[in-house]
Structure 1
Amino acid sequence: MNARKSIYNILSGLLGQGIAILLGIMIPRLVIVNLGSESNGLLSSVNQMLIYLNLLESGVGTAALQSLYRPVAEKNISKINSILSAVNRFYKRIGIWYLLTVSALALLFPLFLQSDLPFSVVCPVVLLSGLTQAASFVVCGTCRLLIQAEGQNYVLNNVQTFVSVFTAIGKIVLLLQGYHLAAIQTMYFAVSLSQFAFIRFYMKRQHPWLNFSAVPNHGALSQKHSVLIHQISGLIFQNTDVLILTFACGLKTVSVYTMYVMLFGMIATVISTVNSGMSFVMGQTYHTNREKFFRLYDAFETYNMALTFSLYCTAHIFILPFLKIYTRGVTDINYIDPRLPFLFTTTYLLSNGRSAAQRVIEYAGHFQKTQKQSLIESAINIFVSLICVFRFGIYGVLLGTIAALLYRTNEMIRYASENLLGRPPWITLKKWGSYMALYLVNLAVFWNHPINQLNDYGSLIIAAGIICLIIVPEFFILGSLVDKTSFYYCRRYLQRKKQILS
């Protein structure tokens, strides 16, 4: 059953992301062409600021999710309801504070923004964007946690796919009709409300035993403050760059930055979708069968890293040819920079390549024991970024992120290996070294390849598909050679499944 859920989660997630990527690629260009790079930069800056407001959640979601894995695996309805009751009460308070904070931000942000965009546009864009998240906390935040703990991410994926398609079409129509950003955000807010209401209705119908008024188990959220420290660190290295660039370099530079983030972030989303499809299995197994968990962990680490390195290698090869076509005719700022792909892929490899270690730390609940390292990571990022941005611009903030990730990724792998897995960290670092060597070999092979001269989407997509079909198996074969134990474990698992099906 868990294997089937994982497959559903992954397939539905990949389908949704594929559709979202195809539609989503069109929208930033339409915004840039019809409204200018400043408007595109504004949307990115507002989204990044609102992500920081999610700190009001105080780590409740992650702490509750880890607490839910055991009772969900044991089908303990009483414990599930007590945890969800505590979360529901907290989320209602968060929604109120979020709304008040967003209202203040909508009034103040336009006053400090260096932009030609009028107050009448910036203020409603900020307000409507924030109202969407506030409604999410109040209406369906608790239900989302139970869906994730039960491994039914495919429900969220399917709903999100529908919403993504509908809103993307709506944005395209509104942009082509000449509407401004406030109208677009109004449409998105209305669609999001219907999505949240459906999720709550669905869970109440599927689980009639749900009782958000049960005696709350506040103890299940005891780790929320330690989780919050980790969330602050994560938000800093993921989102500080945009805020620093907004005020140090302007919205046009932000638009360049977010263009690369959008494209490389699509790869991150695909990888995250695959990972989240299996996360509930690993979370439940950690608390019920530790020996089996260690085998799952090794296989997950090996092949997740293979997927990460192979997809980013393909993206690195094709991002500049794609951007040349994508930004054709845009003259207010240059989007083509050969140095940026190296800096961006370094940040994403360091971030995604440590996800296995990060997950086992979360499953073990070692938030408080690792919060010191998380704070150091944040300090390094801010310090280096602020020093370098005024000298190196966009390169400076990326150097700050890389410096922080070099420290934290190495520390996270060391901690997970020595304290939770009972093994030396070189086992993981050996995989890193092997994958990185193959990554560089592939880049060297395609550095001056004729694909760099392709000038239409059709040829580029076909070439990318062919190269991807070559590169991905390379990394998976290398992973199987480096970690033969995981290869044999996966092969035996697939053989057993095949026998059951036959």
Structure 2
Amino acid sequence: MNKSRTQNSVLTIVTSGVRQGLTLMLTFVSRTIFIKILGAEYLGLNGLFTNILSILALSELGIGSAISFYLYKPIAEKNIERIKSLMVFYKKCYRIVGGMILVLGSAIIPILPKVVNFDQDLPVNLYVIYFLYLLNTASSYLFFAYKQALVTANQEQYKIEKISIYFTFINCIVDILILIIFRDYYIYLIFKFLLVLTKNFVIAVKIDKEYPYIKEKTYVPITKTEMRLFFKDIGSVSLFRIGSVLFNTTDNIIISILLGTIVVGYYSNYYMIISQITMIVGIIIKAFSAGIGNVIAKESKTKQFKIYTQLDILIFVITTICATCLFQLLNSFIKLWLGGVNKDYILSQPVVLFLCINFYFDMTTQIANSFREASGNFETGKSLQLIGGIVNIILSIILGKLFGLAGIFVATIIVKGLITVTPFLMKVSRDVFGFGKWKLLKRYYFNILILIISLLSTWIIGYKFHMRGIIDFCIECAISCIVPMVIIFIVYKNNHEMQELIHRFYKKKG
């Protein structure tokens, strides 16, 4: 029996949520052992090379987003031949991308010594370490990974999450054993690479069983006209992606050059926690994204906007609670976790505030972006991210030299707020939903006001418990969860979209 959009979304959220929760828990275990055995220098190197390779992944240029858009309709119509054609084309594109990553990644090897900035040299070969990271990134594009697009577009991500859960556990155990037994960074990275290959292969076998028709050799190649249209859409998506990457993956490089690679290691613990929370919220967004494509294909503009407002307020509630908890608890947690190792692992509270606001911006614009992509409005806002990304690099360097780490992150907040988020929401309001420019923007800035009230109220109430013992941390956790929920309830208890959303979930539960 076919499942509804909501049922598929909930299944994906539950299974992916279990996997991500396990990942978060096990990551802390392996990260703790990593720090105690290898230290902050290697942690900084890990963060730096990961960021460099994220920039190289720009070679993908939004092919995945464009293919997902083209898959929505044939999936809804059960057009197997069309799906086969797109998947073969997708496979060829990703093979090219993998090759480009290897070539471009190899080309920047000579400049590595200028980017890596330590007070003293590490007893490892930077070029070998970097090349292992490069192979890890390129292999995902060269082998199997393209098949996951079909599962995601079909809202059946839950079918492969069990495999991801198993490999999350295996990866953590292997990490710990390698670190304890060999205490060697080379062996650690080699095993990570082998596990990525194995995981992608196992998932590919599972997908082949679920969708056996994608293994068939007969297919109708897409036409040159379709290919031109496809690459036109990729051109629009790529500008958006380039800007996003310039925003989100250049900070570690700037930190390494201006402040030292070891500072990247200190920051990377905060980044790890925030990115794990980002992934958990992202699971919810991603689970609904394919459903959004289905809504765009079948429903009226009025129904589309109704569903948008429900999803928007859901993500707002989740993100506000998460941002409040992160702001209040991050330093308290880091002190309990690593404060005994080195007090330098604890960053200033203003830095934490800027990281949380950045997290809020990223999460709360994702539903609008999902509607933009699912509706095929790839032209909308395509240059905003690129312009913002370039300005962000320039401003981060200027403010980083003046104010250090806080200056780098406040630059991102200023640029996102003024150059990307505000005009982007105005364009989505007009192009996707056909309203005036201000409809989405007024909703968004009212929600930001509620976020500010939540952050201030929680800080005032929880300050006397901040960065103390384990009992105080537990009390701080309770305050950080309860205060934003109470504020949101008071403000939105009579909100129509909130009531509709609650009714929808109770209906499905019943």
Match of 1:15 in 2: 18
Measured at CA, do residues 434 and 468 of structure 1 come closer, stay the same or move farther in structure 2, by a change above 3 Å?
A: closer
Letter in 1 for 2:170: F
Question: Equivalent of 1:427, from 418, 429, 443?
Answer: 443
1:280 deviates by 1.3
Give, in whole Å, the separation in 1 of the partners of 2:198 and 2:237: 30
Contiguous gaps of at least 5 residues in structure 1: none
Q: Deviations over 1:457-489 (max 9, x none)?
A: xx467446533552463255256336x221232
Counterpart Cα distance in 2 of 1:277 and 1:68: 16
Deviations 1:328-385 (A, max 9, x none): 3334845242222111112111221222222222222222232222222112201211
With 94-103 and 12-21 compared, the bigger mean Cα shift is at 94-103
What secondary structure sits across from 1:368 in the alignment? coil
Q: Is the 8 A contact 1:324 1:336 kept in 2?
A: no
1:453 aligns with: 468
Summarize the Cα distance change of 1:216–1:182 in structure 2 as closer, same or farther, 3 Å threshold: farther
Q: Is the 8 A contact 2:324 2:454 kept in 1?
A: no
Q: Which runs of 5+ in 2 are unaligned?
A: none
What are the superposed Cα offsets for residues 415-458 of structure 1, whole Å, 9 maximum, x if unpaired? 12233221523133223323332332222221x2335311x4xx
Q: Which amino acid aligns with 1:240?
A: T
1:265 aligns with 2:275: yes
Q: Which residue pairs with 1:28 in the alignment?
A: 31
Q: Deviations over 1:29-62 (max 9, x none)?
A: 3233222211100000010011111111122111
Amino acid at match of 1:18: G
| 1-structure distance, mates of 2:473, 2:289 | 31
Q: Distance in 2 between matches of 1:430 and 1:37?
A: 40
Q: Does 1:253 align with 2:263?
A: yes
What percentage of aligned pairs have identical amino acids?
A: 19
CA gap 1:243/1:212 in 2 versus in 1, 3 angstroms = farther
The match for 1:79 among 70, 77, 82 is 82
Query: 1:387, 1:375 → 2: CA distance?
Result: 19
Return the match for 2:219 from 214, 222, 225.
214
Report the CA distance between 1:163 and its aligned residue: 1.7
Residues 435/390 of structure 1: CA separation in 2 closer, same or farther (3 Å cut): closer
Provide closer, same or farther for how the CA distance between residues 106 and 304 of structure 1 changes in structure 2, counting only shifts above 3 A. same
- Matches of 2:343 and 2:396 in 1, distance apart? 25
**1:49-448 matched pairs, under 5 angstroms:** 49-106=52-109, 108-110=111-113, 113-115=116-118, 116-118=120-122, 120-210=124-214, 211=216, 214-217=219-222, 218=227, 219-290=229-300, 291-331=302-342, 333-407=344-418, 408-421=420-433, 422-423=435-436, 424=439, 425-446=441-462, 448=463
Count of residue pairs brought into register by the alignment? 494
Q: What amino acid is aligned across from residue 436 of structure 1 in structure 2?
A: I
Aligned counterparts of 1:16 and 1:460: Cα–Cα separation in 2: 29
Quick one: which amino acid aligns to residue 411 of structure 1? P
In structure 2, what residue type is equivalent to 1:442? T
Which amino acid is 2:317 matched to?
A: A
> Of 470, 480, 487, which residue of structure 1 is paired with 2:482?
470
Between the aligned partners of 2:217 and 2:39, the Cα distance in structure 1 is 46
Distance 2:443 2:352 in 1: 28
Task: Give the secondary-structure state (helix, strand or coil) at the position aligned to 2:266.
Answer: helix
Distance in structure 1 (CA, Å) of the matches to 2:253 and 2:320: 28
User: Distance in 2 between the 1:125 and 1:5 partners?
Assistant: 41
One-letter identity of the residue aligned with 1:222: K
Residues 110 and 323 (structure 1), Cα distance of their counterparts in 2 relative to 1, 3 Å cut:
same
The 1:449/1:327 distance shift into structure 2, 3 A limit, reads same
When residues 37 and 53 of structure 1 are mapped into structure 2, their CA distance, relative to the original with a 3 A threshold, is same
Q: Give the secondary-structure state (helix, strand or coil) at the position aligned to 2:432.
A: helix
**Is this contact kept in 2: 1:139–1:200, CA < 8 A?**
no
CA contact (8 A) 2:75 2:83 kept: yes
**Equivalent position SS for 2:212:** coil
Cα deviation for residue 301 of structure 1 reads 0.5
Moved more, 350-359 or 34-43: 350-359
Q: Distance in 1 between matches of 2:33 and 2:131?
A: 23
Q: Greater CA deviation, 203-212 or 324-333?
A: 324-333
Alpha-carbon distance in 1 for matches of 2:89, 2:63: 10
Change (3 A) 1:304 1:351: same
Give distance in 1, aligned partners of 2:491 and 2:52: 39
**Superposed CA RMSD:** 2.3
CA contact (8 A) 2:329 2:477 kept: no
Contact 2:368-2:425 within 8 A present in 1 as well:
yes
Check whether the contact 1:351–1:405 (CA below 8 A) recurs between aligned residues.
no
Asked whether the 8 Å contact 1:306–1:475 carries over to 2, the reply is no
Alpha-carbon distance, 1:246 to partner: 1.3
Give the 3 Å change call, closer, same or farther, for CA 437–63 of structure 1 in structure 2: same
Report deviation, 1:212.
6.8
